Amino acid sequence: MVRKLLKSLYDICSSRRLAVGLMVYAAFLVFVATIAQTQIGIEAAKSKFFESFFCLAEFSAVKVPLVGGATVGALAVVNLLASGWRYARGGVYGFGMSIAHMALVLLILSGALQYFMRSEGSVMLTEGAESDTVALRNGAKIKIPFKIKLVKFDAEYWSGSSTPKLFEQTRIPARRLGSPENRRNELARLVRRLDVLPNVVCGQRENERAVGGAQPRAAAAVARSRGDVLRNGSDVPAANVRGKRRRQ
């Protein structure tokens, strides 16, 4: 009896109908979420529809309960693994097919991992200003255990037009250092980088002890300025900061 039940469960999990159903449903969910984005914003829609197991789609007065993105992702991983086990074939074709499908598993799992381990935010900096406060995308503000300084920001324009051609910035990398003071000195080291894309990159790797234990651990942070802020004529480029979520 149990064996039969397990067998039918395996059949359902590995079924290609489930795969197609999940894909069509996921496309539908993404559509609903995109429409919701116009009303509640990109961030709110993201946490409501994609980072939940179940959600409630609201179209003015009509409310429809939906299965959330997390459930779809989990089911997709189960389905991909089970059907991979069931239908895997040998040869170049079969191998390629397995690689392609397992890559999707990796993609979904890394998305989940990112959800738990990373937070994203931005820092607004004028030229010469420094800050250690990062505004997360959900609006919360966190302090990072080092400061980011925008030393120089140049925008080059196409001759005779207001279209920017190149954003050039000076980035400051922070290295593994003994004391906060040394770190500040190191921060002052300038590295110029010319790139088509605007970059302010600050990397930091250190353990808790080095910062005295009281400071939370920040493993790595990458800040990148967003060129589009400049379009509005402001000289305040924003920087995106990625790092591990702080553990208190």
Stretch that binds other proteins, among 17-25, 54-62, 171-179, 185-193 (CB under 8 A): 17-25
108, 95 Cβ separation under 8 angstroms: no
**Residue with tokens 């420094």, as numbered in its chain:** 130
Stretch that binds other proteins, among 31-39, 128-136, 142-150, 179-187 (CB under 8 A): 31-39
**Which of 10, 207 has the CB closer to other proteins?**
10
Return all residues near 72 (Cβ < 8 A) that are at least 6 apart: 22, 25, 26, 29
Pick one of 98, 133, 170, 240: the residue that binds other proteins (CB under 8 A).
240
- Does residue 86 belong to the site contacting other proteins (CB under 8 A)? no
Min separation Cβ 90 and other proteins, Å: 18
- Does residue 91 belong to the site contacting other proteins (CB under 8 A)? no
26, 80 Cβ separation under 8 angstroms: no
**Which of 60, 163 has the CB closer to other proteins?**
163
Pick one of 53, 54, 59, 158: the residue that binds other proteins (CB under 8 A).
158
Return all residues near 71 (Cβ < 8 A) that are at least 6 apart: 53, 54
Nearest C-alpha neighbor of 56 from the set 74, 40, 77: 40
- Per CB under 8 A, contacts with other proteins among 181-200 are 196-198
Where do runs of H (alpha helix) occur along the chain? 2-13, 16-40, 42-45, 69-87, 91-117, 180-187
Rg (CA), the chain: 24
Interface with other proteins (CB under 8 A): 16-17, 19-20, 23-24, 26-27, 30-31, 33-34, 37-38, 42, 45-46, 50, 111, 120, 155, 157-167, 196-198, 222-224, 226-228, 231, 239-242
